Amino acid sequence: MTNQAKEDAELRNTAAAAKCRAEYSFPPKLSGWEFFKSIGSPKYIVAPMVDQSELAWRILSRRYKADLCYTPMFNSKLFVNDPKYRQEQWANLKDGLGGGGPNDRPLIVQFCANDPEYLLQAALMVAPYCDAVDINLGCPQHIAKRGHYGSFLMEDWPLISSLISTLHKHLPIPVTAKIRVFPEVDKTIEYAKMVVESGAQMLVVHGRLREMKGHLTGVADWTKIRAVRESVGHLVPVIANGNILYHADLAQCIKETGCAGVMSAEGNLYNPAIFTPQHPESWKLAEEYLTICDEHHTKIAYIRGHLFKIFRPSLAIHTDLRSRLGLAESQEEMWEITREMKERLIKDAEASRLSGESFQDRVDEKGFPILPHWLAQPYFRQPLPDESKKESKETSVKRPAEDHVSTNDEGTLSATTTAGDTDSNKAKKKAKKTKVVPNLCHGVDCRNTHSVTCVHQRCKGCCRTHQREIDSFTCASHPVRSLQNQETPSVDVQHEASSSVVA
């Protein structure tokens, strides 16, 4: 960008900020710890989660002791340019209602961006209705790589500094940031210092690398979070994110990192009461959430995604309800499934009590509590199978002594005869055709093979069910067209706005 272009952009930014201040009244802009105290020194924080930290979920989470909530991540460019996207992401913003109004506070709105001017325009639209604007520097998903935002800005420090400093200079409310760590502690510390020096007034540190996602999520590194807190914690509040499965983990995280608060994403999704010592009956949480949705319009896809997570342990047992939930297209159907699940879980709990079954002090092989399936509980993501062991197992199938197994150019297994065979045996045993080892579907108890082009490594039926469960319709081989069309107004919007649950 030329100097003249920078000057022109600065003039536009100054004018836009002045217009916002003229139309709305704002309290004095606070910084760092003063800002943190002004919003109640929040200790328990609900993370920004695409399509999942919507208003209804924030209301439910606040009932269970969440001190601060983030909106889902919004795409700043789409938020500015597309009124339909803006209305879908934040209903009634154009009417000045701003999310849930005064009952939905304190609230931080998160944007992804790679253009400072678009980011400022989007931030000014929401500034009157929230307490701060957060910049997503942590999203690890492929859509973020294609869109050049989130954690894929980690190597572009000048751009990150420009994004933050532009908001810090012109926005009438504070700017905050959410980051991931580098493999090296020293680089992570320097990165955090740059973010704070650029103007971030609160820093959330997700203790995982950019590569740690999905089945490769692994364990967050609290030692790196502590190192960041020790380096910049005297300037701004540092919030820890990662490894929160149970309520007890919150206190342990604060103890080990020294952070001012803890943010929960998946832990909150599977048990919205995680900020309390409770593990409520899942059907009670589902009924409470649906009642909130009756009062505040919520997209069916969001509701379906939340119910899949709340009921996850029970759906593995009552599989017919899992299928019905995946196909449900109305709120009434969601209620019917929830009521039926409630009846079944009450019977399950009573049968367990009568049988004398006890879950007190029961733990699994890793020492985690074993809870009955009718209670809300964390989800332990299973690692992908070890492909080397899988191949070893497949090649250990017994064969005649004269056969030798080798790998051909296509990487498939083929059987050929050994040099020790007699001519007559060779005549009888012509080279066998290539034997392709089937790729088993990763669906539960499914013995079908999966398509080589399926991104979820499932057969058609399991893949479509899985897409409904995770509320992400990204498999081109097994499209769920009706839901894709319902949830995405256009290909461009989907390309720009889609992302995973957790940044």
Residue 497 CA to residue 501 CA, distance in Å, equals: 12
Residue 180 CA to residue 213 CA, distance in Å, equals: 12
Neighbours of 173 (CB within 10 A): 24
Residue 63 CA to residue 55 CA, distance in Å, equals: 13
In 3D space, the residue among 329, 325, 335, 336 whose CA is nearest the CA of residue 486 turns out to be 329
Residue 133 CA to residue 126 CA, distance in Å, equals: 8
Residues, the chain: 503
Residue carrying structure tokens 């809300």:
376
Residue 425 CA to residue 465 CA, distance in Å, equals: 50
Q: Is the Cβ–Cβ distance between 162 and 200 less than 8 Å?
A: no
Residue 233 CA to residue 189 CA, distance in Å, equals: 11
Residues annotated catalytic, as ranges: 139
First to last CA, the chain: 29
Q: Is the Cβ–Cβ distance between 130 and 90 less than 8 Å?
A: no
Q: Measuring CA to CA, how many Å separate 136 from each of 8, 242, 434?
A: 26, 16, 49
Q: Is the Cβ–Cβ distance between 160 and 119 less than 8 Å?
A: no
